[in-house]
Structure 1
Amino acid sequence: MPTHYQGDPQIASALDVWVKLTRAVDSIASRLSARGTTGSLTITQFGVLEVLYHLGPMPQCELAGKLLKSSGNITLVVDNLEKRGLVRRVADEHDRRISRVELTPAGLALIEEIFPKHAQAVAEEFSVLTPQEQHQLGDLLRKLGKRGG
């Protein structure tokens, strides 16, 4: 559904793109969720495990930044993952005020099992675009994402 805004054409264009972008993201996320590619994890829990899997242990505040989540939200997510035995907090040896979050063996085993299926599902979702279109879209989204920062 395009925007119904009738004012400035530049604003109407931006609103139309915004609607298309959010609908595309919601649609892809919905299809991925229906496929169950993140197992019993929420998308944010999956994101935490995926970041730790690919980037290694890190302070909780850095983890929040990587996932664009508030520190309070990440605290809750990490608490829940810790209760499930998938991550643990380890005090930083140089600064005891900082705790690093790391995967447990159970967390590592889980992400190693589900990540390949999730990655394949994402690739299938984006297969409607050619590799060149995917690259172009990535460049445009990076440009848009860095606009404010």
Structure 2
Amino acid sequence: MLTLLVGLVSCQKEELRSGLSFEEIHLPDIQARKGQLSDENILATDSTGLVLEICEILLYRTNSGRYGKMKILSIDPADNYRLTVQAVTYQNDGTIFSEAESLEIRGTYTGDLDSMLESGPQNDFHWRRENETETSLDPRGSAVFAHY
């Protein structure tokens, strides 16, 4: 229970630092930062540990052209660095197209943020394990991502 509490406090500090909380970020906020979206890999872990912080928010545009947001809930080194995220993908009119409270992507698998599936029909990223210590989120196809 203490670990959960520490995670919640940590998330609140992150969200205050960045301006808007995950819940407050909507389509216009993401579109305002579309120039920052990139097809560059996002390093998640290295020899020093986590680089992509728990509760960090990433913005994205999927292969289908929909914008969205995801919050890192956990990266589990005991389970091949399994990634768990909360994610919301929007329709062009700002309504929610798809969402997941706890989408899990196993190490070396891909994720589809339109269908909110591990290894879905149009994968937007590969959760890549480069070696024993390095893990990265690698955009696939025309999908792009950015730190919020």
TM-score, normalized by length of structure 2? 0.26
Whose relative contact order is higher, 1 or 2, with alpha carbons under 8 Å and at least 6 apart?
2
Structure with bigger strand share is 2
Q: Whose helix proportion is higher, 1 or 2? A: 1
TM-score (norm 1): 0.26
